Amino acid sequence: MKNQRTLFECAECGASATKWFGKCPVCGEWNTAVEVERELEKAEKAAKIKRVPPSYENTVVKFDEYEVGATKRETTGMGELDRVLGGGLVPGSVVLLAGEPGIGKSTLLLQICKTLAGEGRKVLYVSGEESRDQIKLRAKRLEGLSEVESLYLLTETNVSSINGQADKLSPDIMIIDSIQTIYNEGISSAPGSIAQVRECALSFITKAKNEGISMIIVGHVNKEGGIAGPKVLEHMVDAVLYFEGEKIRSYRMIRAIKNRYGSTNEIGLFEMTDCGLCEVPNPSEMLLSDRREGVSGSCAVCIMEGTRPVIAEIQALVTPTAFPAPRRTANGVDYNRACLIIAVLEKRLGFKFYTNDVYLNVVGGLRLDEPASDLAIALSLISGARDIPVESGIIAVGEIGLAGEIRAVSEIEKRISEASRLGFKKILVPYKNMEKVKTQKYPDVEIIPIKSIYEALAYCK
């Protein structure tokens, strides 16, 4: 029998099969089968992809005797991005910057070139999407980019040409915009396909690791929100950053999905303006800017995004249902957590949510993963159900237990000082947290200890 020439791979998990499949047998996703060439290995040889051994010697070392060389992080000139990276770009690391087309990835990267190309460092910006004119025109809109000396531009999509040019220039930092446009001539599938993306990324990563080049690779996100191409890209790089936001609104958020050199809890906030992206050092102010006082179904909460306290607004809409099974939607709040809080309110306080549809939303596209937001979710639900606004100037922090008790949360002092900075007058905190709080430190805000959800009712009547 003639050898089968094609192979099918799942675009989500990278699992391979010799036959086409509707549902991936490994990850269970539908319609993810993509045809890839069986002759990948032959193609590699044809394209002369050099798999060079790493420059350091692979010998066994004694753990306690091994000393790490001094790694100095390079600042990107954008504090918000540095924070997400864990303090700056680590030399020799590979970062994947993913986001929907048009969100501002190229703009951000061009902007950070200004600082990255300082202090004698050479930066090579490889664009497979835009012409030199387009990039230069964009740079004109961005402040201070025209004076950058050691920034080099290459508009090329062939992986071996790019690597060849890079060998001649020997840059310290390389930016690839975007991996979906780069191709390897030895592979017959189109640029952006799994095989292309994987092979091109691999050859860039090998180069980065062998020569100690810091690399930032741009990856487009497909409609479902995954990085187009296989998940393998995420495993191959040192850090994966997601750049997200709504195109119609000007705010953009960057968060780390994976980071070998820092925490994944941090977020960075930007605003898209006429002259590029501007940092938003005060996210709480931004998130509260549209807030209307005196409206029912809204409550403020202070959550921790990594090391930084952020104040968010939770909104709840409670309306009589027309369906036998009432609707519940939760945007920015974990759905199961929302159902749990609704159940606690029904059981402990006698609310009749089973006759109502409930829609929960967190303003500004923030995601509240912390249980510390429970009390604020409950208060917004109570306020929505009663159609009475929560007392003005109130902010609530606390985890709710199944018995309706309010449990202690971490880093209470940071949350209180942020609330006080933003002018909140009263803060509801878990009773158990009170021993640690030095109330005299916050003269402008009244700190109210809460033991059970029942006590919270008094602030919405």
Q: Which stretch binds ligand TYD (CB under 6 A): 55-63, 181-189, 268-276, 383-391?
A: 268-276
Residue 275 binds to ligand TYD (criterion: CB under 6 A): yes
Q: Give the span between the Cα atoms of 44 and 51, in whole angstroms.
A: 10
Site string for ligand TYD, 141-180 (x = CB under 6 A): x---------------------------------------
Q: Give the span between the Cα atoms of 122 and 171, in whole angstroms.
A: 5
Partner whose footprint covers residue 309, from Mg ion, ligand TYD, none (CB < 5 to 8 Å by kind): none
Half-sphere exposure in the Cβ direction for 344 (13 Å, CA): 24
Q: Which residues pair with 430 in a beta bridge?
A: 450
**CB neighbourhood size of 318 (10 A):** 26
Binding ligand TYD by CB under 6 A: which of 77, 86, 88, 104? 104
Which of 94, 294, 316, 331 is CA-nearest to residue 201? 94
Contacting ligand TYD within 399-458 (CB under 6 A): none
Q: Which is nearer to ligand TYD, 270 or 459 (CB)?
A: 270
Min separation Cβ 139 and ligand TYD, Å: 9
Min separation Cβ 125 and ligand TYD, Å: 12
Q: Are 188 and 37 in contact (CB under 8 A)?
A: yes
Q: Going edge to edge, which strands form the sheet with 94-99?
A: 151-155, 123-127, 173-177, 214-220, 94-99, 239-245, 251-259, 267-273, 276-279
Q: Which stretch binds Mg ion (CB under 5 A): 20-28, 55-63, 105-113, 153-161?
A: 105-113
Q: Give the span between the Cα atoms of 1 and 177, in whole angstroms.
A: 43
State both tokens at 71.
């790694």
Residue 272 binds to ligand TYD (criterion: CB under 6 A): yes
Number of residues that bind ligand TYD (CB under 6 A): 14
Min separation Cβ 105 and Mg ion, Å: 5
Q: Tell me the DSSP string of 137-169.
A: HHHHHSTTGGG-SSEEEEE--BHHHHHHHHHHH
Q: Which residues pair with 34 in a beta bridge?
A: 9
Look up residue 347 and give its DSSP letter. H
Binding Mg ion by CB under 5 A: which of 32, 76, 93, 106? 106
Which of 111, 110, 118 is CA-nearest to residue 149? 118
**CB neighbourhood size of 17 (10 A):** 14
Min separation Cβ 102 and ligand TYD, Å: 5
Min separation Cβ 428 and ligand TYD, Å: 40
Partner whose footprint covers residue 107, from ligand TYD, Mg ion, none (CB < 5 to 8 Å by kind): ligand TYD
Min separation Cβ 244 and ligand TYD, Å: 11
Min separation Cβ 217 and ligand TYD, Å: 13
Q: Which stretch binds Mg ion (CB under 5 A): 98-106, 201-209, 304-312, 404-412?
A: 98-106
Half-sphere exposure in the Cβ direction for 447 (13 Å, CA): 23
Residue 127 binds to Mg ion (criterion: CB under 5 A): no
Min separation Cβ 31 and Mg ion, Å: 27
Partner whose footprint covers residue 352, from ligand TYD, Mg ion, none (CB < 5 to 8 Å by kind): none
Q: Give the span between the Cα atoms of 390 and 383, in whole angstroms.
A: 6
3-state helix, strand, coil split of the chain in percent (to 5) is 30, 30, 40
Min separation Cβ 106 and Mg ion, Å: 3
Residue 107 binds to ligand TYD (criterion: CB under 6 A): yes
Min separation Cβ 102 and Mg ion, Å: 8
Q: Give the span between the Cα atoms of 190 and 16, in whole angstroms.
A: 19
Binding ligand TYD by CB under 6 A: which of 105, 252, 255, 337? 105
Return the SS3 of 11.
coil
Q: Which stretch binds ligand TYD (CB under 6 A): 71-79, 97-105, 206-214, 389-397?
A: 97-105
Partner whose footprint covers residue 99, from Mg ion, ligand TYD, none (CB < 5 to 8 Å by kind): ligand TYD
Residue 119 binds to ligand TYD (criterion: CB under 6 A): no
Site string for ligand TYD, 213-252 (x = CB under 6 A): ----------------------------------------
Q: Which stretch binds ligand TYD (CB under 6 A): 98-106, 289-297, 382-390, 420-428?
A: 98-106
Buried residues in 187-226 as b, exposed as e (16+ CB within 10 A): bebebbbbbbbbbbbbbbbbbbbebebbbbbbbbbeeeeb
Binding site for Mg ion (CB under 5 A): 106
Binding site for ligand TYD (CB under 6 A): 99, 101-107, 138, 141, 272, 274-276
